[in-house]
Structure 1
Amino acid sequence: MSLIDIPLVRLTRPDPSFPGLFVLQLDNGPENRITLDLISSIMQALDHIDQCLDRLSEQDSAKGGALITTATGKFYSNGLAIDDAMEIGDAFYQPFMNMLSRLLTFRVPTVAAINGHAFAGGCMLALAHDYRVMRADRGWIAMNEIDIGIPLIPGMAAIVKAKVRPQNHLRECLLGAHRFKASDAVAAGFVDKAVEESQLADTAIQYAKALAPKTRGLSPVFHLIKAEMYRDTVSMLLAGGTSPGSYISKL
């Protein structure tokens, strides 16, 4: 049973003995397209997690906390609801950028358990997490904007550049729209582990429990370190603007 009644997501605690550990499951149809409603639901879930963490006893907060996101079926997320995004522009993109910023600097470790394809905006969503575990037997993670003829706005490019390195992998990701299977993504260094589907949830929980003690006592230190680690990326995400390449318009 979900901890809170929010549309399009399901928030649970997978281990009653570890109340600072949460799993957020996306549930927006078979493709988990990122809509404004899904963005709102994810942000509400993050608010609720914050409230739960603030209410933990001293004994439970000493264990720290962590967040796993995942989905079911063929897709982790097949990206943005692109027709809506193209139609309303900043009113769509800025909430998406805000959500990525929130995840990128979230107060506890975050693990994306990538159960299937993660394309475009879904790839960005996965990259906003601290760690990524991916299903080995099925699914690709890719930025396919160049193939569908949509340029990246500055914040979108920034989050990919922050997580996909070195330059040859970034080039293949953004200019080649390479579909990385799990083993390729692990070799490229932006997915941490590839496992069979049956092991995905348990592996993500193992990562989360191993990382959670870094936030013991739930002080703001973990959040603040991430905020400085990704300062430039977050600044780009929060700056707004949907004009790719505008800085070279006078060249």
Structure 2
Amino acid sequence: MSYQTITIEKRAKGVAWITVDHPPANAIGEQLMQDLEAAVDELTEDDTVRVVVVASAHEKIFLAGADLKGMIHNSGDADGEEDMIARQSARMQACFNRFATMPKPVIAAINGHALGGGCELAMACDFRIMGKGRIGLTELSLGLIPGAGGTQRMTRLLGRAKATELIFTAKRLEAKEAETIGLVHRSVDPDDLESDTTAFAEVLAKGAIHAMGLAKRAIHVAEGPIEEGLKVEANAFSDTFMTDEPSIGLAAFFQKEKAQFLD
């Protein structure tokens, strides 16, 4: 199958690399989501693929967030507009959730900034190995909230107290600090990211992959159903556009200034 925003490379021992290549910043759009979903289907059905790695072709960015200019446009006061924004949020959630429920191990090889949506995709993967850049849910600095599963996944990964702190402060973590708190599993030398990820992926690939898929399903059940939380998040993401905070935050972002929410 041909893709417009990603490439798939099947390497030794059944390890397949999905590399996002969507210039200029690997921003999340409809085509990228369609390609990622199709890739999950292809690699799930391919019995020769045992482990999946998600990486980036961008030198400094793992994955950027959604189209922010589109969000400004969508924050008008037309009737039902907030429902459309909630649908946009749910669309991103569904895309990333495909990786969380894929019945094979999935590793995020983070070679650059994974902020906002990039962090949300990384958290949907089973493992995160990070070389450089910063990672975090930075939406609050724009007057928004995480809308692609971030409020749910970070809370499950780190606990309510730490997730609340990181989301409220929109903190950007270096790889070492992210490893210390458990947001990433391993921080590595940027030059060794590909080789270290490959080595770990091949260790997994030698294991009982079918059993791992079943264990993954059971682990999700043990955590409790995420679907209701994702629905609440999508609606809350939409509700942010009923205030002037996103307009202030996004305008400052495009002007490369710090948003001032207090007059």
Give TM-score scaled by structure 1 length. 0.81
Contact 2:27 2:63 in 1 (8 A): yes
What does residue range 1-251 of structure 1 map to in structure 2 within 5 Å?
A: 4-15=1-12, 18-19=13-14, 21-53=15-47, 56=48, 65-72=50-57, 73-85=59-71, 87=74, 88-135=84-131, 138-153=132-147, 155-165=149-159, 167=161, 169-217=162-210, 221-237=214-230, 241-243=234-236
Inter-partner Cα distance in structure 2 for 1:210 and 1:91: 39
Distance 1:153 1:117, change over 3 A: closer
CA distance in 2, matches of 1:154, 1:25: 20
Q: Which runs of 5+ in 2 are unaligned?
A: 75-83, 240-263
- Is contact 1:134–1:200 with CA below 8 Å preserved after alignment? yes
CA contact (8 A) 1:67 1:110 kept: yes
Aligned length: 228
| Whole-angstrom CA distance in 2 between matches of 1:207 and 1:235 | 33
| More off after superposition, 191-200 vs 224-233 | 224-233
Secondary structure at the aligned position of 1:225 is classed as helix
- Specify the code of the residue in structure 2 equivalent to 1:6: Y
Larger deviation, residues 122-131 vs 91-100? 91-100
Separation in structure 2 between the aligned mates of residue 96 and residue 175 of structure 1, nearest angstrom: 21
TM-score normalised by the chain length of structure 2: 0.78
Question: Structure 2 vs 1, CA of residues 6 and 181 (structure 1 numbering), >3 Å: closer, same or farther?
Answer: same
Cα deviation, 1:19-59, whole Å, max 9, x if unaligned, reads 3x211000111311111111111001111102212xx4xxx
Tell me, in whole angstroms, the C-alpha distance in 2 between the residues paired with 1:114 and 1:220.
Answer: 23
CA distance in 2, matches of 1:209, 1:164: 27
Give yes or no for contact 1:30–1:75 (8 Å, CA) kept in 2: no
Q: Show structure 1 runs of 5+ residues with no match.
A: 57-63, 247-251
Following TM superposition, by how much is the alpha carbon of 1:211 offset from its aligned partner in structure 2, in angstroms? Answer: 2.2
Percent identity for Structure 1 against Structure 2:
20
CA distance in 2, matches of 1:124, 1:192: 15
Q: CA deviation at 1:228?
A: 1.3
Q: Secondary structure at the match of 2:39?
A: helix
